[in-house]
Structure 1
Amino acid sequence: MTNEIYCSAATVATNIDPSQVPDLVVPAPPSDLAALIRQYRSVRSAVVVQAMKAWLQRAGSDLPDPDRRGIALGTATGAGPDIEEFLDESIRLGDHLVNPAKFPMTVHNAAAGNAAIAAHCRGPNIVVSEGIHSVWSALTAAHALLHDNSADIMFVGGFESQRLANGSTGTIAAFIALSAGTAIFGENRIASPNTRSHWAGVLPRPQGHADSPEDPHPCEVGAASVMALVKFANTFAPAHGGAAAMGVVDESEAVAR
């Protein structure tokens, strides 16, 4: 595998008004998310699949074979909200009446599996959970899989959920793609050159750094993780004014802990 890895612009999806997501600059396309929620019985899976579909709608026509497409997702909150919903329904209705279709969505990698089905990905499929570092660690893992020639394209992203003031749960998902080629990105233009400047610090700064918070209290994990995912999406935001310039990532620039 060449040392040159190219990255696409990000796509995002959320079950809340995108304008209510602080600092998010990547536009979330309109969608019939309600239909996906009915299909998957899970907001998490629905939002992740929607973000993936938004990327694929703008992709080139020459995507690699399904066996050469991989996914790396990072998440701190994972299937936690789905587990809570399943248990709440079980307690409220009784085990014999709970909807069994909801149980598979309580598995931590359910959303990644559903995204793989939607994108016909039969290559590597991994989920990384490392607190607020999750999505950045998934990016590092995807980079390594490309250099190991385990895939020709890696869809990289994350999903996080946060309890909102009205008691509901908001979920956001984001995807980019990494590949040694560029044609497959289609209208997902190559991320702008400022991506290179971000890449050297692609993981959040070490604990105690002046520009980063200490590890969050457990009750704040959802909010902190959403903020980390928004930063990831914004790092790969489409360039303003349409066409974006090519950003090359050399192996020497890859993340090292």
Structure 2
Amino acid sequence: MKDLSKIEKINKVVEEYFKENSSLEIAPVKALMPAFIKAGIFTKDIKKGLPIRLVLRELDASNELNLIPTLYAERHGEHTYWYFVPATASAPETPYKQEKKKPENDPIAIRLNSDETYVISLCDKVLGLKANRQKRFDFLLGDLHKNGKTQTLLPVDAYYEELQLVVEYKEIQNYRPLAISKIQEEEDEDEESTKTLSREEQRRIYDERRAKVLPENEISLVVISYSDFEYDDRNKIIRKEESDLKIVQEALKDFR
């Protein structure tokens, strides 16, 4: 059962809050938590307004949000953002909660705009198929982890199951030394040591492993390099789709 006395107190606090802050037209519910605590409605704040949000969620579930007439609920998919507005004001005509823009260094945005994504999209167009990107096979494994027992399934850039074909795109990183990393090398059955390799060497080992293991499992491998295209001083493809398509068509001529 709803605690109607608590609802009445909440309404009173909201009314007083907007009287004292007459310039405000909207306020997140968490902004009123100090006033709710001072009024004895809640004993303390938790997670920036959780106590009041729990009350509102309960009212929402029972379709009784009208008990707090100054409440404004803004829904974004599965998420609801709660606000109070003055009793004399109407609900905002545009969303108050602005969706956060992805930063320029957002890893997902970077990957979607990467040369690898661009080239594999060209492969899709040439083959008339959609690649299974970052496909992993249970027979294509990395080196042993530090525990000496487990291994990571190595991904491939693009897998076309209908053709039993893997396409790998090689960027400049596949050809030059980068930061140092450590991988495990098993010396005998009872002892492991840590061998230090450059990422260039580690990539080379894994590239060679793909080239060996995939054909052993009756999967063809085509490697397309950034150097196959016209590229700029940052080794990024200068995208000219018409001519780039011809390059990809030549690389995949045995599978068209």
Do the structures match in fold with TM over 0.5? no
Larger relative contact order (CA 8 Å, sep ≥ 6): 1
TM-score bin (small chain): under 0.3
Structure number with bigger Rg = 2
Higher strand share goes to which structure? 2
Give the TM-score normalised by the residue count of structure 1: 0.26
Q: What TM-score comes out, normalization by structure 2 length?
A: 0.26
